Chains A and B, each alone.
Chain A
Amino acid sequence: MVALLGRRVIQRIRGLLYAAGFLYEVLRESFLFVRHRQVGYRVLTMQILFTGVEALSVVAVLGLALGVVIIIQGMSLLPQIGQGQLIYTILITVITRELGPILTAFIIIARSGTAIATELGSMVVSHEIEAYVAVGINPISYLVAPRFLGVTASLLILNLYFNVFGLVGSYFVVQLIKPVPFAEYFRGLLSSLQTADILSSLVKSLVFGVIVSAVSTFNGFRVESASTEIPQVVIKAVGQSFMLCIVADAVITLIYYMR
């Protein structure tokens, strides 16, 4: 019993150390990737295209809907208690600081995290990784680094678009239902928006991007030989990504309020 527990703890620690080593290697290769502008640049472009551009429509709809709901509910309820100006603070808090980064991360996990884990798992099963190593190509440098950078950059940019649609786009949609003066709305929004909010949002996106890309690629490489392992690692990648993103979100929010 004790031996079993000890073995499991040792395995877990080894797994964590391995993951830490993998993350270090990915960060190092990504840094080198940016410096050397390797042949994987095309892979990076395609990764941003698939992860960022193709997810834009989903992010836009989600941001618009969320913004419209908050504005309509806020404009209806808050003036009744004499706190109409709070709508801008609520918009910034919900869209920019909290739900923008986390919802974008969830969309990326569902779309690209699963795709990356599946793709890398399939490459392992079909011995493509071994082929890369055999011809002297570092798979982390060629396969992981562009995906890591692409997913992280896409999440960062998609978060900005989420804010554009959530804060600006929703205003124009709300005009069709409940007109709000343009100058008043944007003046209130800019008065409530602080650089710390933007920084918090960007840091969250960056961290979530690192988590999603690292977890997906890491789990993709965990496939050993059978194609049946692929769905298993994909499920693990999604679960771990969700969990780590939520934990990281809580930590960053805590740091934001402790400053």
Chain B
Amino acid sequence: MKFKIRFAEQIVGVFVLVAVAFLALVLILIGINQRWFAKDYHFTSRFPSGDGLSVGMPIKFKGFQIGAVDRISLDENDLVDIDFSVYDTYIDKIRRNSVLELVSSPLGIGGGLVFHPGKDLGPPLAESSFIPSLNSAEGRRLVQAGLVDIPPNSDAVTRIVGEVDPILKNVNATLVSVHQLVDTLNGGLSGAADNPTGSLIRNASDMTAQINKVLVDLQSITDRLAAAANSPNGPVQGMLQPQGSMEKILNDNDALYDHIDDTLANLDATIKQLSDFVTYLNSSQPEITGILDEGRETLSQGKEVLEGIRNNPLIRGGIQPRIEQPGTSAGYRDGGF
């Protein structure tokens, strides 16, 4: 029998049980999340109009939801009565002289019911107590008497302005930063700043001053050269005068020219000899190269012979030094004089 058929009842049992367990778990979690098992404390309040009020509307304290509106009704005096509940975790905030404020924003955002606790630090109010609204006579009296812990900027417009304020501060800070940046740039370009741009500008200025100084010196040198050239006692004028060097050089009956010509002829002969010597060297070069090659080959062969002798096992121990045997009889010629 197949496993599935054999254990059909067990499989079906698990199948059903898991589904039921999931359903139960979800219901419990929903209950916890939606406060089915938590105790809520009920209070009442009164407003001149029901505009902006709705059942289920959250009641907030410092941004936290502390309860919700349960019921809204119009009473015989044409005022709107509301019943609302407060979560047990926030019941200690519901103190004497507390008020409720219906915040309606002219821009359509940020509205809701806001709870302002009283400054009385006594025990929490009893359940079903009446908490006046801020725009009722009782509520206004409590606020004017300073009995309510109410933040100064609780109206919607002030809150919006409060939200805009940090943005304006940020814009202001940005503008100040831009201003500082422009100042720094100006300082840098004028060379007054201590930053790299400033020092660069300063160095450029110093360099320009030095170049100007060099140009001035150059100008004075040029002026002096011009003065020397134009001076009647100067070297140039001296050279150009009838008794000057130029005159002597040009009117010496070709002595200087002949001397230079002789020198050049000697130089030509020397160069010719040098050329012959170089030609001889060039013609002898193959012979010299052959001699050098033969010498190199001879050395190589000698090296091979020496290597063969060194590697020869018969004479590996080397050649025994020869001991000279003195003769037993000496000739007449060996005798000393």
Q: Which residues of A contact B (CB under 8 A)?
A: 45-46, 48-49, 52-53, 56, 153, 157, 160-161, 163-164, 187, 190-191, 193-195, 198
Which residues of chain B are near A157, meaning CB under 8 Å? 15-16, 19
A195 CA to B23 CA, complexed, in Å? 11
Contact of B33 with A190 in the complex, beta carbons under 8 Å: yes
**B221 CB within 8 Å of chain A:** no
Known: A45-B8, A191-B33. 12 other contacts (CB 8 A): A45-B12, A46-B5, A49-B12, A52-B15, A153-B16, A157-B15, A157-B16, A157-B19, A160-B19, A161-B19, A190-B34, A193-B26
If over half of A's interface residues share one DSSP class (helix, strand or loop), that class is named, otherwise mixed; here it is helix
Contact partners of A161 in chain B: CB under 8 A: 19
Is the CB of B4 closer than 8 A to any CB of chain A?
yes
Measured CB to CB, the closest approach of chain A to B154, in angstroms, equals 25
Query: Is the Cβ of B33 less than 8 Å from the Cβ of A49?
Result: no
Is A195 in contact with B30, judged by CB distance below 8 angstroms? yes
Closest Cβ of chain A: how far from B211's Cβ, in Å? 64
In the complex the two chains form, what is the Cα distance from A215 to B151 in whole Å? Answer: 67
- Write 16 A-B pairs (CB below 8 A) sorted by A numbering: A45-B8, A45-B9, A46-B5, A48-B12, A48-B15, A48-B16, A52-B12, A53-B11, A53-B12, A153-B16, A157-B19, A163-B22, A190-B33, A193-B26, A195-B30, A198-B26
Is B27 engaged at the interface, CB distance under 8 Å to the other chain?
A: yes
A234 to chain B, nearest CB (A): 25
* A49 touching B26, Cβ below 8 Å: no
Residue from B16, B26, B27 whose CB has the most chain A CB atoms within 10 Å: B26
Interface residues of B in 16-68 (CB under 8 A from A): 16, 19, 22-23, 26-27, 29-30, 33-34
Give, as a whole number of angstroms, the nearest-CB distance from A114 to chain B: 20
Taking CB as reference atom, which chain B residue is nearest A190? B33
CB pair B27 A198 closer than 8 Å: yes
CB distance from A28 to the nearest CB of B (A): 24
Q: A53 to B26, Cβ gap below 8 A?
A: no
Once bound together, how far apart are the Cα atoms of A187 and B30, in whole Å?
Answer: 10
Instruction: Give chain A residues whose Cβ lies under 8 Å from the Cβ of B19.
Output: 157, 160-161
Are A164 and B9 neighbours in the complex by a CB distance under 8 Å? no
Residues of B within 8 A of A (CB): 4-5, 8-9, 11-12, 15-16, 19, 22-23, 26-27, 29-30, 33-34
Tell me which of A45, A153, A190 contacts B30 (CB under 8 A). Answer: A190
Known: A45-B8, A49-B8, A160-B22. A195 touches B27 (CB 8 A): yes
Chain A residues near B30: list those with CB within 8 A: 190, 193-195, 198
Residues from chain B with a CB closer than 8 A to the CB of A190 are 29-30, 33-34
Chain B residues with Cβ below 8 Å from A195 are 27, 30
A53 near B27: Cβ-Cβ < 8 Å: no
| Complexed CA–CA distance, A164 and B19 (Å) | 9
Q: Which residues of B contact A193 (CB under 8 A)?
A: 26, 30
Query: Within 8 Å CB of B16, what residues of A?
Result: 48, 153, 157
Is B11 touching A49 in the complex (CB atoms < 8 A)? yes
- With beta carbons under 8 angstroms apart, the residue of A49, A153, A187, A198 that contacts B4 is A49
Smallest beta-carbon distance B288→chain A, Å: 89
Q: CB-CB < 8 A to A56: which residues of B?
A: 15
A195 to B26, CA, bound (A): 10
A157 to B30, CA, bound (A): 19
| A45-B12 Cα distance, complex, nearest whole Å | 7
Which residues of B are found within 8 Å of A52, using beta-carbon distances? 12, 15
Cα A198 to Cα B23 with chains together (Å): 9
- Contact A164 B8, beta carbon cutoff 8 Å: no
- From A186, which residue of chain B is reached at the shortest CB distance? B29
Cα separation A46 to B4 with both chains bound (whole Å) = 10
Name the residue on A nearest B4 (C-beta). A49
Cβ contact within 8 Å between A164 and B12: no
- Chain B residues, CB < 8 A from A53: 4, 11-12, 15
- Residue numbers in B under 8 Å from A160 (CB-CB): 19, 22-23
- Cβ contacts under 8 Å, B9 to chain A: 45
Going nearest first, the 3 A-B pairs with the smallest beta carbon separation are A190-B33, A160-B19, A157-B19
Q: Which of B11, B15, B33: most chain A Cβ within 10 A?
A: B15
CB of A158 to closest CB in B, whole Å:
8
